Structure 1
């Protein structure tokens, strides 16, 4: 295992990102108590001591690893007419590129002692901006159902790894999961096209 040394700011930023990426993978796949700094360090190619130097504690690393502001922005960066497909494609990219799922991290954070803080942050960065863009009836319910479907996709694909879902190609996954999401996003347009 190589140990990274932060000799310049760019390298330090890369090292920090590698640590957070490895932490997200481990915290998504295991309970907080089961995840060790040494496991994260090994995945990130650094020493556990360097993780402590950058983050101070496992709790601080967890707090940064479960944050989702940047990912929430990327998830919502699409017009409403194509948002269902965009949400699924962006989530698949996060799964495959970073072994990470911001929805699963939010669920896991809810069980931590300061889970209400993360719940509020999740609402601020994802659910409230999403709800503000929706039109039509039952916006709070539709927003919750969109989140539930995205949590479910992450759970069966990343955490439980159900063969029926993990065996799907990315295109088939999008074709399967995007239409029900889109129907929640723009139900009034869907019903008008059927009349």
Structure 2
């Protein structure tokens, strides 16, 4: 399985919503960008733009479901509130039409309720040491003091929602590339 196979299947099947989840630094954003390039007219919503600060994972999980995905699943526009990390304050709302192709990526995207409102769920696995290296390389000193704090929220999220079990595909990042394994 390759990313272009997924994009083709989604297009052929009339899909509108994909969820890409995994722990910090696993490769979710890279995969979302690749799908976005191949899936014509899609919009990417990144949970990094939604979390209301370093303690906001649980809030974002609920927000994505109630404000964005659930309304779209009933034919209404979904919306999401952006968080401005610089000012540490809300920064406005964004609307996504119910017919717009949507990729939601980030820790917290793939809950049972969210999966019920989407066409495809993908979980991305990467070894812990590689995830940390990538995340700190990407965000550097901004993220370093919050790594453990964020990881604890991820552990709670994983225990509560078991997102890997919601996935249609498990993507494992290996030194030789990605391995795609069917999920649920």
Considering the TM-score relative to the shorter chain, is it more than 0.5? no
Instruction: Choose between structure 1 and 2: higher helix proportion.
Output: 1
Q: TM-score, normalised by structure 2?
A: 0.29
Higher-Rg structure is: 1
Of Structure 1 and Structure 2, which has the larger fraction of its residues in strand? 2
- If asked which structure has higher relative contact order (CA below 8 Å, sep 6+), I would say 2
Normalised to the residue count of structure 1, the TM-score between the two structures is 0.28
